[in-house]
Chain A
Amino acid sequence: MSSQAIAGAKPKSGGLDRQVQAKIGQQLRAMYDEVVDQGVPDRFAELLKKLDSAQGAPKTEEEPR
């Protein structure tokens, strides 16, 4: 586990306080969901359309760019 013992902040060996864990989880999800809520950028909608119509054509190179 982490060696730096910030006074009072070091979790007990038994694991984190349930409430603290919940808060970390909430912030993590909030950060994540903010991106999810942005939906599909045009760039990807167009890419998928292009890839779909290119299906059947010779495969694109292994490593894109």
Chain B
Amino acid sequence: MKTDPATMQIIMAIVPKLRAFAISLSGNVDRADDLVQETLMRAIANIDSFEPGTNMQAWLFTILRNRFRSEYRKRRREVEDADGHYTESLVAQPEQSAKLEYKELRVALDKLPSDQREALILVGASGFSYEEAAAICGCAVGTIKSRVNRARNRLATELDVKSAEDFGPDRNTRAVIAANERR
């Protein structure tokens, strides 16, 4: 049975967001694109289990998030003798993958525990509600809220933000921020 064309259109439209989520989670474009590919394959193969009328974006994000988590656990087992250093080997070298202007943010994000990082990205960047993020991560709403708060506090510390003026490593980012503010 072919997937209904309207559904394919919807999935296609979500691909850019899936990539942004995957890159934000993993910090590595190549790995992220592999994750997106696996997610799409899995989604199409299991399209019958998607309930029409529910949130397709949340469904796809859940698949991707679970793929990322299981890969993360697997890799951690593989390198666990290098105790304490597994995070460094799991996250990509930011200088290779992320745009330079986001390097500081990328480094700070990679220092977050993975559950805090995913919560912050889902709520702070993807624009999901706390309730939707909780459903994607399979945890309570209160848990998501506290993870997001802890993540923000930690980022502020890592980035050494004393005031809004300190923020933004360079002109490009400032320009983007300024442009956003004018919207």
Which A residues are within 8 Å of any B CB, using their own CB?
1-2, 4, 6, 8-11, 15-17, 19-41, 43-45, 47-48, 51-53, 55-56, 59-60, 64
Contacts and interface: CB of A to CB of B under 8 A. Distances in A.
Interface in B130-179: 149-150, 152-164, 167-168, 173, 176-177
Contacts of A27: 102, 105, 167-168, 173, 177
Contacts, number: 144
Interface string B55-92: 00000000000000000000000000000000000000
B36 interface: yes
A21 B173 CA distance: 16
Given A21-B152, A28-B121, A30-B176, A9 B16 contact: no
Nearest to B181: A26
A10 B156 CA distance: 8
A30 B157 contact: no
B40 A48 contact: yes
Say whether chain B's binding surface is mostly helix, strand, loop, or mixed.
helix
Nearest to A4: B157
A64 B38 contact: yes
Contact of A32 (B20, B157, B163): B20
Contacts of B36: 44
A2 B177 contact: no
B2 A52 contact: yes
Contacts of A9: 156-157, 160-162
Contact of B45 (A16, A19, A30, A59): A59
A41 B33 CA distance: 10
